[in-house]
Amino acid sequence: MTKASFIPLAGHRKHSSDEMRSRSRGYNEEMQRRRTVRDFSDQPVHRDIIENCLRVAGSAPSGANLQPWHFVVISDPVLKQKIRIAAEEEEREFYRHRAPEEWLQALEPLGTDECKPFLERAPYLIAVFVQKYALLDDGRKVKHYYPTESVGLATGMLISAIHHAGLVSLTHTPSPMAFLNDILGRPRKTERPFLLLVVGHPDKQATVPDIQRKTLKDVATFV
């Protein structure tokens, strides 16, 4: 057993209510500009920018602070092509056979289909893995708690960091995604792909679907 040990909360910054109002408004304005983008430019992005965004993701809260995530950053064109081929194969099945009519109807406003050229064109794909447990060097397993929730939180923070940096992303979930373990050499026993995040600059001609966000009233209740 490791005993709890505490240090002062040194990182907290106190602001006046006016400052907090202005900061929260500014952050909301910034985040409302975020859109999921499918039209990527092939313009390169410096690796250190992605590294900073991943540091943000790694600061997410997690069950028992076990940080049950792993991010594989893919820029190698050969790997990107392999991933595109495998993903499009699954997507073809999904759109032509597997998806129930109701699901296809829900996707209609997004205009998605089985073609995923962005998987090769965007400078980075980030494969996010959930670690169900950690495997110690001596072969013992350490159980992770709320791993899926934790990785969801980390991924949300990654998406906002990427947006804040001035880049765009797409949350892509080919289903099933186990081909990512094989292509990227990640252990199937302990790790499950969570999603594939496509990251880069938007194409000059990029368009996005004309869809709306729910209002605060729709999504929140104060009691």
User: Considering only residues 91, 154, 168, 195, which one is a binding residue for ligand IYR as defined by CB under 6 A?
Assistant: 91
Nearest distance from residue 114's CB to ligand IYR, in Å? 7
Coil, strand, or helix at residue 51? helix
User: Considering only residues 38, 80, 82, 172, which one is a binding residue for ligand IYR as defined by CB under 6 A?
Assistant: 172
Does position 178 interact with ligand IYR (CB under 6 A)? The reply is: no
Given the DSSP bridges, would you call strands 141-143 and 133-135 parallel, antiparallel or unpaired? antiparallel
Does position 115 interact with ligand IYR (CB under 6 A)? The reply is: no
Nearest distance from residue 172's CB to ligand IYR, in Å? 5
Does position 104 interact with ligand IYR (CB under 6 A)? The reply is: no
Contact 119, 173 (CB under 8 A): no
Nearest distance from residue 119's CB to ligand IYR, in Å? 10
Place of tokens 């708690």: 145
For ligand IYR, the nearest residue by Cβ is 112
Return d(Cα 215, Cα 71) in angstroms, integer.
32
User: Considering only residues 20, 64, 107, 178, which one is a binding residue for ligand IYR as defined by CB under 6 A?
Assistant: 107
- In degrees and rounded to multiples of 5, residue 131 shows phi and psi of -95, 115
User: Considering only residues 112, 152, 163, 192, which one is a binding residue for ligand IYR as defined by CB under 6 A?
Assistant: 112
**Residues in CB range of 75: below 8 A, 6 or more apart:** 47, 123, 124
Specify the DSSP element, H or E, that contains 137: none
Question: Residue 108 carries which DSSP code?
Answer: G
Site residues (CB under 6 A) for ligand IYR?
91, 94, 107, 110, 112, 172-175
